[in-house]
Structure 1
Amino acid sequence: MGTYVVTGSASGIGAATASRLREDGHYVIGVDRTPADVTIDLSTVAGRSAALERIVALAPNGLAGVVPCAGIGGFTDTDPTDVVSLNYFGAVELCAALRPLLVAPAAVVLLSSNSVTCQPGWAREIADLCLAGDEAEARTSAAAHDAVHVYPATKAALAWWARREGVKPEWIGAGIRINAVAPGMVDTAMTQRLRDDALLGQFADAYPSAIGRPGHPEEVAEVIAFLLSERARLVVGATLTVDGGTEAMLFPTGT
């Protein structure tokens, strides 16, 4: 059995993933802003550094995987710069810092979103600045946009980072696979907050679903558990859409 780091472990997909891994007998180090094994805010450089220090202390024998689920939605009252810092940099900077602790065969699964393909009009330049590793400039650019258009940009950057970094010698060459999942509407506290948003709530259930309902966090966690396992050893640098058919219905011949 291995040791896994799951951020955003206190709720939603993060909590479901942590639970799923524990059911399989793994040791999970939960990271969250609310009480967890490591209670920390990953939206800041200082928070990431402190998280790394605590995780190192809790994983003396190394890690089998990392699942950075911590994130914030693009709600009307959300600071768009926080979306950049937590969703993207809070994920990839921690993953990069934890790479020396990952003991092959190991895996990283990032949390992207089908909003990348299903939501029009998001800010591509923010995704590019994220991939360039320039947090200050990405935050500056985000400040000029509504958070709703920043959220998909961060999720696109996560998927592209998985694709770009996943094939590099320091990752797959060292026996560490990187992939991402792209959920659609999943029944979590975040999506309930979206429904309650005075401006954006009307769009919460606007996208179709082939299965006729939102997903459940546990359903996404099953896919994440698969990607972490050696059963997915041929899957490298990929993003798996897990949205009940929404993207397929909107773009039947591809995006």
Structure 2
Amino acid sequence: MDLLVRDRAYVVVGGTAGMGFAAARELAHDGARLAVVGRDAGRGTEAASTLSEAGAAEAFAVAADVSHPGSAAAAVTEAAERLGGLDGIAVTTGLIGHDPIEVDDERWTAAFQDVLLGTVRSVQAALPYVERKGGTIVTTAAYSIRAPEIARLPYASLKSGVATFTKGIAKAYGPRGVRANCVCPGAIETGALSGLRAHLAAERGVPPEGVLERVMVEEWHLDVALRRPGRPEEAGELIAFLLSPRAGYLTGALINIDGGTNF
């Protein structure tokens, strides 16, 4: 399906790897103009090159860590000015932390800066540009906002804030033609899970095929109906669709992409 994004301008924060890169690649296939923002400048350059090869009308990277004050505003402003405006922004940052509730204020503050403020800052910086075009915003929360795990409570708590923030943006900016939606992924096999699959296989002396799926169900007790982790491209396709005009009457939604967990 053509997403109708040819020559439209998008910035994907966290777009140099994982779900963000997968979303950018979907947009590239249909001729969008793209800026990807990530911490690693080298990886960003490689991602932009791949997006150009995939069909993007324009693609470049901006190196920034949006958890740092001022970085998101600078990165999004640079992207918007180079693209001549923005039709949309997706924010896929917010690293999973394995911190229980007992961690100290410093760890809670670090999670707050990365998971919540990284999204808030990026969206705030993009809104003046997106509003001019009646554009789109997509954020990422997590399935764990409704099924929190004690081992990741700071992460889940602040991803809940992302969901609430996104709904608020949808309400406040809907009359101005801006749509905002929040994607809630479950276990998606990006770099960390892919590495864990290889580690588990080596540790247990078994083939990598199927080992992560067994651990998810038998040891993590993650009740996923499809009995497998998601693929980055599956989440990326959803994010790209939400950014596109094809989702023109969809706003303020929290959309699960979790393989069928118990929400």
- 1:10-39, Cα deviation, whole Å (9 max, x unpaired): 211011111111111101100000122110
Instruction: Report the Cα offset of residue 208 of structure 1.
Output: 1.6
The equivalent of 1:91 in structure 2 is 119
The equivalent of 1:174 in structure 2 is 176
Report how many aligned residue pairs link the two structures. Answer: 217
Instruction: Say yes or no: does 1:5 pair with 2:11.
Output: yes
1:45 alignment partner, SS class: coil
Unaligned runs of 5+ in 2: 1-5, 45-60, 201-211
Task: Determine which of 233, 237, 243 is the counterpart of 1:228.
Answer: 243
| Larger gyration radius, structure 1 or structure 2 | 2
1:213 alignment partner, SS class: coil
The equivalent of 1:49 in structure 2 is 73
| Structure 1 residues 212 and 3: CA distance shift in structure 2, 3 A | same
Give the Cα–Cα distance (whole angstroms) in 1 for the partners of residues 220 and 82 of structure 2: 41
Instruction: Say yes or no: does 1:207 pair with 2:222.
Output: yes
What TM-score results when the alignment is normalised by the length of structure 1? 0.77
Give the Cα–Cα distance (whole angstroms) in 2 for the partners of residues 50 and 104 of structure 1: 20
Give the Cα–Cα distance (whole angstroms) in 2 for the partners of residues 155 and 10 of structure 1: 21
The equivalent of 2:56 in structure 1 is none
Aligned CA RMSD, in angstroms, stands at: 2.5
1:236 alignment partner, SS class: coil
Instruction: Report the Cα offset of residue 51 of structure 1.
Output: 1.3
Instruction: Report the Cα offset of residue 206 of structure 1.
Output: 2.7
Instruction: Report the Cα offset of residue 193 of structure 1.
Output: 6.4
1:86 alignment partner, SS class: helix
Give the Cα–Cα distance (whole angstroms) in 2 for the partners of residues 178 and 241 of structure 1: 15
2:139 alignment partner, SS class: strand
Unaligned runs of 5+ in 1: 122-145
Moved over 3 A (4+): 76-80, 190-197, 201-205
The equivalent of 1:67 in structure 2 is 90
Give the Cα–Cα distance (whole angstroms) in 2 for the partners of residues 172 and 105 of structure 1: 9
What TM-score results when the alignment is normalised by the length of structure 2? 0.75
Q: Is the 8 A contact 1:75 1:194 kept in 2?
A: no
